Amino acid sequence: MYIILAWRNIWRNPRRTIVILMAVIIGVWSMIFLGALMRGMETQMVKNSISTLTGSIQIHNQNYRNDPVVENSMDNIDKLDKALSKTQDPGTLWAKRVRVNAIASNARHATGVTLVGIEPEKEVKISFIGNTMISGRFLLPGDKNKIIVGKAFLKKFNTKIGNKLILMSQDTQKEIASKAFRIVGIFSAESEAVEKQFVFVPISQAAKMLKMGDSISEISIILPRLDITGKKETQAAKKLITAIGDDTFVVETWQQLLPMIKAYLEMSEFFLYIWYFVVFVAMGFGIVNTTLMAIFERMREFGLMKALGMRPFQIIKGVVTETFFLLVLGILTGIILGFLSVVAIAKNGIDLSALAAGTQMWGIPRILYPEIWARDVVVAGLVVLLLGILVSLYPAFKAAGVTPTTAMRKN
Amino acid sequence: MSIELKMAWRNIWRNPRRTLLTIAAIAFAGMILVFMLSFQLGCYETMINTCVKISTGHLQIQAQGYLKDKKMRLVIKDPDRIAQFLDTVKGIDHYTFRANGFCLVSSDKRTYGVVVTGIDPMKEARVSSIKSLVRKGSYLKADDEYTALIGELLSNNLKVNINDEITILGQGRDGSIAAAVLTIKGIFNSGIDEFDRNVIMMGLKGFQEIFSMGTSVHEAVITADSLGDVSRVKQNIQNNFSAIKGDEALAGLDWMEIMPGLLQGIQMDLVSGIIMYIILVIVVAFSIFNTFLMAILERTREFGVMMAIGTSPSRITKLVMFESICMTIVGIILGIIIGSLVTIYFQKYGIFIAGTEDILKQYGIPDRLYPKLSLISATAGPLVVFLITFVSSFFPALKIRKLKPVEAMANV
């Protein structure tokens, strides 16, 4: 009975109901839409940083992260390989790398870079380098003195494919090792900083130049699916640590490797929920006011109902049911509109490349693909519904507190 | 006070509860906007100031093309002439000269590639914050030549400490090999990792000797009296530029040109903020639109009577508009006052958000965020709220024109 009564009551004044519905719809829509933009940005940031040589999990020598030099590299790779094959799900990929700071120079320029020795056939599957070649060719395992560099690096050095590049770094004997490479390919990346920082050579060549023998700097592992909460990665890392059982190796997930990203994710979630609250307060005033007016108009009616024997609690229940309908209707429409608008732009994404320098400064992707998270939808819906019902209690108590005789005397 | 205004003011207090709620909604929107905008602008200013203080200065004079390629040979040949000129320009706070070169730096244990910057210790201290960033050891003295300041991260990487020696190896301006041994005098920490990992500073004179620069430099770094003066100073410099340039191809650049990323980043953040505020204002507008609408619809009978005794519809419309405007203005003034008070409180004590320190540091913001109240941040948001509520009060008021006295009076 409450349900039918409430539903009919809210449509007694359709204009008023529609206006307040609009406020709820726009509010909920903005929550869903902004949430989707933010989540899309986050996912992409995590994906980008993982594919920029981080991977889901990495294994290093225990000293490497503090002091990334060739002395702190890992031997006994077979053992790691075995531990990996034993513990990881099928579909998990990994590759070995040599990674060391170096100086790149040609006749005119010199700059600091990160020299990365890779296993070309494996690396393409686990990091960005596989599908971002824009000209020339990728490395082959047998390449002797070939190197690939970033687009921005090439421009800075004013050089081109086929030209030589000298790399210098400290080898395991603490001598300066240098070797000439020929540029065979160019890659592009999300940010110019990455294009300028990394140069890639086959792992065998890097090891030879640095006199490293069979040792390597890191193993980067990609799980079949990214888990943005990092739980799967943590589990996989735990299994791996037990399987290796050797403290000289450190196994870390992307959350440990990229503490900034993790902190950023937490911070933006915090701001999103604050925003939800602010929007709610803005519409909350409207909800209270509209419900109040609806109630004062109907004081006579409430007086009559009470005179007929309705308990105050029942009147409260009636009023709250009305608000409940109003809110549910508004929330559902808002969510549907949110979904529709996200679907509409998710296809092509929002292109921010006109502000490329700005996106790089904040470290956000150039093209934004919004992404709706069930959690945000639920939180947005619940915030509006629960707080909405809470604020409608005030008018409801007003209605319940009415004295039949005075109320019915009123015109 | 006109009679309409007086009536409007009395009318809105006929239903104080409704009026207060409406005013509260408007005040809330106004308050949030004042605070958020102050917050954003405050953060931007801190970011700009930190970046300007740590590295670029407000303005720079460089050889044409140096900004893009950072080529050693693109120099300002005669800094003395530039100095004489800068002394005459109004609005300049301080200036200094710098020279930069890319080098290989080695300790006994490690080798890294870094940027070595030659600075004039005395002048530099007035332009940049480097002197106050020295955490260990001491800042350079005026005549220090072969001593260096290095970033904390770099000192960790190189495994060196105060008074240790480091070797730098690079290429001089004429293409010759530039090599020297420097003693570390101080270790600085700016909080910006990239800077702390990549920069070594040494005396300009020593730098010029090592890199065969003669008396030439790469950058004249200028700070204006305040951020707002930058465009005027830039204009002043450019107006007289031809006189001092001589045969040199020089360029006068402001911080926005030197760090386009910072400017675009700020613009992007501002735009996304504005979109959010507009959504908020629209939600508020719908919330109060209802109040305005109801305030009119429930008084149909009253308006009918007024018309019957000879009040013209336009006068009633005016009355109703005055009512909305009264409420809006009271709400907005309250919003501005409360918003400003909240802002001023946080301006003094700062806002601390746990877990964000490391991120903010990279953008040059200290661990506390400080909003900054300004005329723009205090009025821009409320003004938009005013306009939108004005528009939303307009539609209900139009209804009055359609009223017919007899029918209206029949309305209960």
pLDDT digits (tens, 9 = 90+) for B147-163: 999 999 999 888 899 99
- Average pLDDT of span B81-88: 87
Provide the Cα torsion A263, A266, A269, A271; round to 10°: -60
- State residue A43's pLDDT score: 87
- Cβ neighbours around B288 below 10 Å, total: 30
* Partner residue facing B110 (CB), from A16, A19, A170: A170
Contact yes or no for B355 and A266 at CB 8 A: yes
The residue among A33, A281, A352 with the most chain B CBs within 10 A of its CB, best to mutate, is: A281
State the pLDDT at residue A167.
92
Measured between alpha carbons, how far is A261 from A230 in angstroms, rounded to an integer? 12
pLDDT tens for A229-287 read 888 888 888 888 888 888 888 999 998 888 888 888 888 888 888 888 888 888 888 88
Q: What is the pLDDT, as a whole number, of residue A271?
A: 85
Work out the pLDDT band at B1, boundaries 50, 70, 90. Answer: low
Inform me whether the pLDDT recorded for B403 exceeds 90: no
Quick one: tokens of B242? 């031809």
> In angstroms, what CA-CA distances link B216 with A211, B115, B252, B398?
42, 18, 17, 73
Q: B247 falls in which pLDDT band (50, 70, 90)?
A: low
pLDDT at A339: 94
Q: In the structure, what pLDDT confidence band is assigned to residue B412 with cuts at 50, 70 and 90? A: low
Interface of A with B in 183-222 (CB under 8 A): none
What's the mean per-residue pLDDT of chain A? 87
Of A267, A289, A297, the CB nearest to B287: A289
**Residue range A130-143: mean pLDDT, rounded:** 87
Q: Are A40 and A370 in contact (CB under 8 A)?
A: yes
* pLDDT score, position A58: 92
Q: Distance (Å, rounded) from C-alpha B278 to C-alpha B275?
A: 5
pLDDT for the residue B369: 81
Is the Cβ–Cβ distance between A222 and A59 less than 8 Å?
A: no
- Please state whether A381 falls in left (phi above 0), alpha (psi between -120 and 50) or beta: alpha
Q: Does residue A5 carry a pLDDT above 80?
A: yes
Please list, in sequence order, all residues whose beta carbon lies within 8 angstroms of the beta carbon of residue A173, skipping any fewer than 6 positions away. A211
Highest mean pLDDT, choosing among A9-13, A145-149, B44-48, B192-196: A145-149
Instruction: Say if residues A120 and A138 touch (Cβ distance below 8 Å).
Output: yes
User: How much is the pLDDT for B236?
Assistant: 85
Domain boundaries of chain B, sorted by first residue = 3-51+262-410, 65-248
Torsion sign (Cα): B316, B317, B318, B323: positive
Q: Would you place residue A328 in the very low, low, confident or very high pLDDT band (cuts 50, 70, 90)?
A: very high
**More confident of the two residues B110 and B201:** B201
Whether the Cβ atoms of residue A99 and residue A218 lie closer than 8 Å to each other:
yes
Eight-state DSSP code of residue B141 = P
Residue of A16, A289, A361 with shortest CB distance to B261: A361
Residue B258 backbone zone (phi > 0: left; psi -120 to 50: alpha; other: beta): alpha
Helix (H, G, I), strand (E, B) or coil at A202: strand
For residues B199 and B201, what is the distance between their CA atoms, to the nearest angstrom? 7
User: Which of B21, B171, B260 faces A285 most closely, judged by CB atoms?
Assistant: B21
Report the pLDDT value the prediction gives residue B400, as an integer from 0 to 100. Answer: 81
Pair A145, A180: CB distance under 8 Å: yes
The reported pLDDT for the residue numbered A411 is 52
Q: Are A4 and A320 in contact (CB under 8 A)?
A: no
Mean pLDDT across chain B, nearest whole number? 87
- Residue whose pair of structure tokens reads 């007035």 in the numeric block: B126
User: Contact B229/B91 with Cβ under 8 angstroms?
Assistant: yes
pLDDT tens string B294-351: 778 778 888 888 888 988 888 888 888 888 889 999 999 999 999 999 999 999 988 8
**A positions 224-253 inside 8 Å of B (CB):** none
Two tokens, residue A138: 């990728």
pLDDT at A355 over 80: no
What CA–CA distance (Å, rounded) separates A221 from A242? Answer: 16
Provide the shortest C-alpha distance from residue A70 to chain B (in Å).
10
pLDDT above 60: residue A326: yes
For A289, the closest of B283, B290, B355 (CB atoms) is: B290
pLDDT above 90 (res A129): no
Sequence letter at residue A181:
F
Q: Which three-class secondary structure state does DSSP give residue A410?
A: coil
- B373-376 contacts: CB < 8 A, separation 24 or more? B373/B34, B373/B38, B373/B340, B373/B343, B373/B344, B373/B347, B374/B38, B374/B41, B376/B37, B376/B41
> Nearest CA to B373 among B341, B352, B343?
B343
Cβ contacts of B29 on chain A, cutoff 8 Å: 282
Residues 367-406 of A with CB under 8 A from B: none
| In chain A, domain spans | 2-48+262-409, 57-222
Determine the Cα–Cα distance for residues B177 and B182; give it in Å rounded to an integer: 16
pLDDT score at A269: 86
User: Per-residue pLDDT averaged across A346-354, rounded?
Assistant: 82
Give the model's pLDDT for residue B245: 63
- At residue A64, the pLDDT reads 87
Cα–Cα dist A218/A68, whole Å: 10
Among A191, A247, A255, A250, which residue's Cα sits nearest to residue A223?
A255
Q: Which residues of A58-92 are buried (b: 16+ CB within 10 A; e: fewer)?
A: bbbbeebeeebbbbbbbeeeeebeebbeebbeeeb
Q: Give percent of chain A above pLDDT 70.
A: 100
Rounded-to-10 torsion of CA A357, A363, A366, A368: -140
What percent of chain B has pLDDT above 90?
27
Q: What is the mean pLDDT of residues A178-183?
A: 93
Pairing of strands A93-105, A133-136: unpaired
Q: What is the mean pLDDT of residues B25-41?
A: 91
Q: Kindly report the nearest CA distance between residue B86 and chain A, in angstroms.
A: 31
Put simply, the answer to whether B22 touches A285 (Cβ < 8 Å) is yes
Tokens standing for residue B123: 């002048």
Report which DSSP code applies to B139: P
What integer pLDDT is reported at residue B138 of this predicted model?
Answer: 92
* Tens digits of residue pLDDT in A51-92: 888 889 999 998 888 888 888 889 888 888 888 888 888 888
Nearest 5°: the CA angle A13, A15, A19 is: 125
- The whole-number average pLDDT for the span B240-253 is 75
A34 — contact with chain B (CB < 8 Å)? yes
Pairwise CA distance, residues A307 & A403, whole Å: 9
Per-residue pLDDT for B173 more than 70? yes
Residue predicted with more confidence, A354 or B100? B100
Q: Is the pLDDT of residue B64 over 90?
A: no
- At residue B344, the pLDDT reads 94
Return the number of other C-beta atoms located less than 10 Å from residue B209's C-beta. Answer: 17
